[in-house]
Amino acid sequence: MVLLSASPCGLARLITVCEQYAAAHGLKYNSVKSEMMVFGVRGKCPSTVPVLQLNNNPLKLVDNFKYLGHMITSDLKDGSDVERERRALAVRANMIARRFACSSPAVKITLFRAFCTSFYTSSLWVNYTQKQYSALRVQYNNAFRVLMGLPRYCSASTMFAEARVDSFAAIMRKRATSLLCRVRNSTNSILAMYADRFDGAYLNHCGALHMCLN
């Protein structure tokens, strides 16, 4: 679970509520595995952060942590998660290419769709560099070339079209559009308010994604 607060005092009160609830129900939070992160405002973080405790143990202050498989950093940049996905893609693609080298093209394409096109939490990416994003795209294209035994510099758009597999650009557009539709259709009042903001960073990102990746 995650506790969010705009101030250390507010976070301390939330921690106290959790401790009291756990004690009343015969539970205990693991303070060793619990960590604290301070998100910067416009790239700036406070010079000093008060020490907060859980079960009388100080919480470790970190700059990043993985939550539900997604890398979150104190500067709210997505480069670390893009790199995590690139490395995971490389591992999965190499495994498929090695174990199913003698399989038919149809089997390889099916496996590629199943294991190399998920891009878990990629729809949340907004703040990253073009270099990081391009590295993931190149990894995706090369993974398909290696699996199918295609020349290294063959046209990516042509090979995906012939195999009827989504290109990297198509996958990113689908992921962003899917999340945006779910947010807009949500009955949650906070999400509904966010979806109605046409000046929101994510909405602008989705629009740029559709235009730049065509």
Which pLDDT does position 211 carry in this prediction?
45
Closest CA to 109 of 165, 166, 174, 151: 165
**Going by C-beta distance under 8 Å and a sequence separation of 6 or more, which residues neighbour residue 13?**
5
Each residue's pLDDT tens digit, 66-97: 988 899 998 889 999 999 999 999 999 999 99
Element (H, E) at 73: strand 70-73
Q: Which residues of the chain have pLDDT under 50?
A: 210-211, 213-214
pLDDT at 214: 43
DSSP state of 63: S
Phi then psi for residue 163, to 5 deg, are -85, -5
Between the alpha carbon of residue 106 and those of residues 22, 100, 113, 127, 148, the distances in Å are: 53, 11, 11, 36, 10
Q: What are the tokens at 75?
A: 């500067």
In this predicted structure, what is the pLDDT of residue 207? Answer: 61
| pLDDT number for residue 199 | 61
- The letter for the amino acid at 105 is P
CA distance 16 to 68: 24
Write the CA distances from 209 to 66, 173, 214, integer angstroms. Answer: 25, 7, 8
SS3 65: strand
Residue 60 half-sphere exposure toward CB, CA atoms < 13 A = 10
CA distance 211 to 174: 13
Check: CB of residue 82 under 8 Å from CB of residue 125: yes
Domain assignments of the chain as residue spans, ordered by start:
8-62, 79-212
pTM of the model: 0.81
Determine the pLDDT at residue 144: 96
